[in-house]
Each structure stands twice: as structure tokens, then as C-alpha cells.
Amino acid sequence: MHQKNKDIQKKYEGFLQTNCLWESDSVYNLNQFEIQPTSAKIDIKIDDKLRLGKYIERLVSYQITQEKSIAILSENIQIQKEKVTLGELDCILLKEKKPIHLEIIYKFYLYDPAIGDNEIAHLIGPNRKDSLIDKLKKLKENQLPLLFTKECADYLKSINLKATDIKQEVYFKGQIFVPFSDKKIQLSVLNQACVSGFYIHRNEVAIFKECKFYIPRKNDWIVIPHKNINWLKFEEFYLIAEDYFQKKTAPLCWLKNKNGTLEKFFLIWW
């Protein structure tokens, strides 16, 4: 298999094995899209320079096209008002002949009990910029209502649909990282299967100094850790990590324990 194809294959497998952040409509009444992967083989080319969010959309598009009961009508639909873009609909599809407006989201969140007063509010982006609550509000207040705008009605007319006939769903997958000091956190609202690793502060990471490390590029964050890479010793790893700290960026890292087991973690600077 060609290296590029292998890379896409690894990302697709990682994507398929990531769970949805919640089930049915248990969070903010946002309905999760349900689809069972028929095959983990992927046979398309994807531009490796796409940012991760757009790359994921290509993977979802491929996954959907493998399903006989689903047909994509349109993707990445720009809704404009007098040449100003109001927003974009990710996808309109037919599932068992019923129209669905689907928004696609894939996020990495850290569970920080010091933030907010409930499970959903505890989830924050690795650099503390975006939170799950912010994303859910954006979906409810901006992205989903776009379907019901006058400008969108004109577009829907062109594909013989009316907003009132369209069901809205989200395909919201995510990986949750828990504090190293409390790896046994049990989630009650969100999907426990989304817990994918831990996070640890740069000042504490020396406890792993006998281990090996790898820092994947952001586009490979969805890849399931494997052994077939150039592992770094702690000193080399920490030097590279220093660059991330200077930029106030928390890298996702792979850890190879002395017994050979592999784990994922975020190394935080804050």
C-alpha cells in the first residue's frame, strides 16, 4: 500500500473508532446521527494539507457514501445575503429517503473539574480557548437556525426541499482527556467510551522519564497509537515540547511505557 494511502487508512480507522460524545439527544436536545460503519477500508485521496476539521468532513463524506440507505444531496453549502456569507451548512442528505441537515464536529477536550459546575461545563479545549459549552451554544444559536433563514429557503428551493421537512442532526465525535491525578473519572451525561487518555502538566511529566515519546502532527491526532514510528527519549522529547510551551500550545503526545503499552496524553503549559 502506498504511504499516503496508508496514512489516510490510519486516520479513517482512528475516526471510526472515536465515539460520539453522547447518545441520541441527551445533550441540549441535539440528535446524534446514527450510522454503523460497514467497512474500515477507505479508497479515496484527501489533501493532506487540509486542516483537521475539513479532513474529518472528507472522512464522514466517504463513510456516508458507503451506506446504501443514505444519499448526500449537497455539502459545504455557503448561505449568503447580499454577497456576505451568513454561514455554512455542512451537509444535506437523505437517510431512508428522509432529508437531514447534518453538522459534523470532531473535538478534543480536557476534563477540568475546576471549570464550571457540571460535567459538560468541565470540558475545555487543550489550550483553554474553546469549550464544549461554547460549541453547543454555537450549534443551537447560529449553525442550526441557519436552515430556517430566508436566504437558506432560496437555496433549499433549488433542491426541492423546505426547511420544515428537514430533520436536524449532529455527528459530534470527540476524545476526552482526564487529569493524570484522577484517571478514574466516571462520566454520567457524556459517553465514557470517549475517554481516550490523560493530561499532565509540564512540571510533572518527568515521572515518565524512563519512557519513550512521540508527538504527532495535528492532522494525525485521530490516529490510534502504534509502535511503528521513531520514538524519542525523554530529553529529546522535552526539548521539542519546549517549543510548544513557548507558543502556548498543548501538544497531543504518544507515550510508550516500559512494558510496551501505548497511551495518549496532552502535555499542558497552563
Q: What is the DSSP code (8-state) at residue 186?
A: -
pLDDT band for 4, please (50, 70, 90 cuts).
Answer: confident
- The torsion angles phi and psi of 41, rounded to 5 degrees, stand at -85, 140
Q: Domain ends where: 150, 179, 208?
A: 179
Residue 264 has pLDDT above 60, yes or no: yes
Tell me how far the alpha carbon of residue 188 is from its chain's centroid. 20
Whole-structure pTM value: 0.95
Residues 154 and 246 both lie in one domain: no
188 part of a folded domain: no
- Determine the Cα–Cα distance for residues 105 and 126; give it in Å rounded to an integer: 16
Residues 135 and 248 both lie in one domain: no
Write the single-letter amino acid at 69. S
Residues 156 and 224 both lie in one domain: no
Instruction: Count CB neighbours of 189 within 10 A.
Output: 11
pLDDT band for 82, please (50, 70, 90 cuts).
Answer: confident
Backbone Cα Rg of the chain: 20
Q: What is the mean pLDDT of residues 239-251?
A: 95
Q: 220 lies in which domain range?
A: 194-268
Q: What pLDDT shows up at residue 36?
A: 83
Residue 44 has pLDDT above 70, yes or no: yes
Q: What pLDDT shows up at residue 192?
A: 97
pLDDT band for 2, please (50, 70, 90 cuts).
Answer: low
Residue 194 has pLDDT above 90, yes or no: yes
* Percentage with pLDDT > 90 across the chain: 93
Residue 232 has pLDDT above 60, yes or no: yes
Residue 258 has pLDDT above 80, yes or no: yes
Q: What is the mean pLDDT of residues 118-126?
A: 97
Report how far apart, in Å, the C-alpha atoms of 95 and of each of 76, 101, 142, 148, 155 are.
Answer: 18, 10, 24, 20, 20
Residues 175 and 199 both lie in one domain: no
Residues 149 and 214 both lie in one domain: no
